[in-house]
Amino acid sequence: MDIRKVKKLIEMLEESNLNEIEIKEGEESVKLVKAQVSSIKEQIVSSVNEAPKISSTENQDKKNSEMEKEEQILGKTVDSPMVGTFYGAPNPGADDFVSVGDKISEGDVLCIIEAMKMMNEVKSDFSGTVKQVLVENAEPVEFGQALFVVE
């Protein structure tokens, strides 16, 4: 937090009838408290809230689950070209573009990713058989996230 903002807050506290002010901005917070001792006009308490630390066992569990996911993906993956919402069908109530076991060819539409109200078709870069659909319908996806496993 900028020191000029803190100084302005001190001035505002002095001019007001308040005894304390606490401001949170992102991960930072500042708490100003008027002191009860007459020799001190105010007391400034400032602390930066850090993101919670993850214990080493939680880190190990995350690594293990990521490794399990990687082991489950055997074959080529079709990855999301953008951040958006995954749709497996052209419209609600319609059949999915592809299902597990379907044979696909290069250029076939596999799904739609909605980004900023635009519907973007995701096409296959290779031929094969769909072994896994890794994303649920209407689920948000990240750039580069695996959507399908094709063998």
Q: How far is CA 86 from CA 42, 95, 108, 114, in A?
A: 54, 15, 16, 7
The verdict on 91 and 145 lying in the same domain is: yes
Rounded to whole angstroms, the Cα distance separating 91 from 106 reads 23
Q: How far is CA 63 from CA 5, 60, 71, 74, in A?
A: 42, 5, 12, 18
61 within domain boundaries:
no
Overall pTM > 0.85 = no
Taking only the tens place, the pLDDT of each residue in 87-129 is 999 998 899 999 999 999 999 999 999 999 899 999 999 999 9
66 within domain boundaries:
no
79 within domain boundaries:
yes
Taking only the tens place, the pLDDT of each residue in 52-82 is 555 555 556 655 555 555 445 678 999 999 9
SS3 of residue 45 by DSSP: strand
81 within domain boundaries:
yes
Question: If you search the block for the tokens 């959507």, which residue do you land on?
Answer: 147
130 within domain boundaries:
yes
Q: Dihedral sign, CA of 48, 49, 52, 55? A: positive
CATH number at 130 reads: 2.40.50.100
Task: Provide the number of structural domains found in the chain.
Answer: 2
The verdict on 23 and 79 lying in the same domain is: no
Taking only the tens place, the pLDDT of each residue in 15-24 is 888 788 788 8
63 within domain boundaries:
no
Rounded to whole angstroms, the Cα distance separating 122 from 27 reads 38
Of 88, 77, 92, give the one whose Cα is nearest residue 148: 77
pLDDT at 40: 43
